[in-house]
Amino acid sequence: MSRTNHRIPLVAGNWKMNLDHVEAIHLLQALALRLRTTDTTKVEVSVHPPFTDLRSVEGIIGADELPITLGAQHCSHLESGAFTGEVSVGMLRRLSVKMVLVGHSERRELYGMTDEVVAQTAGAVLSGGLIAVVCVGETAEQRDAGETNEVLTRQVTAALAGVPKGAEASVLFAYEPIWAIGTGVAATEVDAQVACAHIRSVISSERSASVADVMRILYGGSAKPDNAGDLVAQEDVDGLLVGGASLDAESFSAMIDAVAACYGSPAGNGK
């Protein structure tokens, strides 16, 4: 399957709490080797290592001029102060981090990150000049109760409250159904499309059709090399947020290649 589009797809690797900085270097080098044969004009790639790896990963991306965007997994919505264990946007920016995941379901579920703090964090990321990838998605219970759209509407609307008008170009959403994360059971491409289209419709009514039209919406949750192409072939799925499969250079690069292959013409030539 192929598609053309004005939205450049993103394949983002969320390493979570895996890989120390030495292991991170090994993975990055293995990935860099494989990316040599990838058409990186058709797909953007980001990695989101643990905080302790950022400096090492940044050094390699910079020295080898790798076509990889450096991302973080989380940050504080506050600038500085007595917040033990937290990391600010400014600290990330000093390490050349360009992109931050905001409101991943593990932050929401395990660390009590509310919709309000998600919005404040998105706002902090944007005012620090970085890109925010806001994660949204329903639990299995909410899905079974038919509440998926309601949950997505609430989470997207709440997150947009932290996004100043005019700053939307630095925001992406990632639809990550919680029941699909790390379970091996991905959403079907049809379900992913329906949810991503719903997210786009919420953005459209909260902001405008033109804002919604250019904003990238990713799918995440047990994405693998064998479903990557089918997922991004969907009209409203503009890339993937990948957990487990991003820890293996071969799997992750196969997914990047599948996404690049799906985009038949260089970004910008479509539509």
The catalytic position among 104, 138, 189, 198 is 104
Q: How far is CA 251 from CA 7, 29, 227, 271, in A?
A: 24, 14, 12, 30
Residue placing its CB nearer to ligand PEP in the complex, 117 or 136: 136
Question: Binding residue for ligand PEP (CB under 6 A) from 9, 13, 14, 89?
Answer: 14
Closest CA relative to residue 259, chosen from 36, 101, 44, 99 = 44
Asked if 191 and 149 count as a contact pair (C-beta separation under 8 A), the reply is: no
Is residue 117 close enough to count as binding ligand PEP by CB under 6 A?
no
Is residue 241 close enough to count as binding ligand PEP by CB under 6 A?
yes
Q: Based on DSSP, count helices (H) and strands (E) in the chain, helices before strands.
A: 11, 8
The distance of closest approach from Cβ of residue 176 to ligand PEP in the complex, given in angstroms and rounded to an integer, is 6
Question: Binding residue for ligand PEP (CB under 6 A) from 171, 232, 242, 249?
Answer: 242
Residue placing its CB nearer to ligand PEP in the complex, 66 or 186: 186
The distance of closest approach from Cβ of residue 173 to ligand PEP in the complex, given in angstroms and rounded to an integer, is 13
Continuous segment of H or E residues that includes residue 125? helix 115-127
Q: Any catalytic annotation for residue 104?
A: yes
- C-alpha to C-alpha distance for 262 and 231, rounded to whole angstroms: 10
Residue at 14: amino acid letter: N
Candidates 58-66, 140-148, 158-166, 235-243; binding stretch for ligand PEP (CB under 6 A):
235-243
Tokens of 169: 């170009």
- C-alpha to C-alpha distance for 44 and 144, rounded to whole angstroms: 34
CB half-sphere exposure, 175, CA atoms < 13 A: 31
Q: What does the per-residue mask of binding to ligand PEP show for 214-233, with x meaning CB under 6 A?
A: ------xxxx----------
Is residue 138 close enough to count as binding ligand PEP by CB under 6 A?
no
Q: Any catalytic annotation for residue 147?
A: no
**With contacts defined by CB under 6 A, how many residues of the chain interact with ligand PEP?**
13
Residue placing its CB nearer to ligand PEP in the complex, 175 or 263: 175
Question: Binding residue for ligand PEP (CB under 6 A) from 77, 152, 244, 254?
Answer: 244
CB-closest chain residue to ligand PEP = 243
Residue placing its CB nearer to ligand PEP in the complex, 176 or 238: 176
The catalytic position among 44, 138, 176, 189 is 176
Question: Binding residue for ligand PEP (CB under 6 A) from 44, 53, 176, 238?
Answer: 176
DSSP 202-268: HHHHHS-HHHHHH--EEEESS--HHHHHHHHTSTT--EEEESGGGGSHHHHHHHHHHHHHHB-S-TT
Q: How many CB atoms lie within 10 A of CB 111?
A: 10
Which residues belong to the active site?
Answer: 104, 176
Binding residues (CB under 6 A) for ligand PEP: these are 14, 176, 181-182, 220-223, 241-245
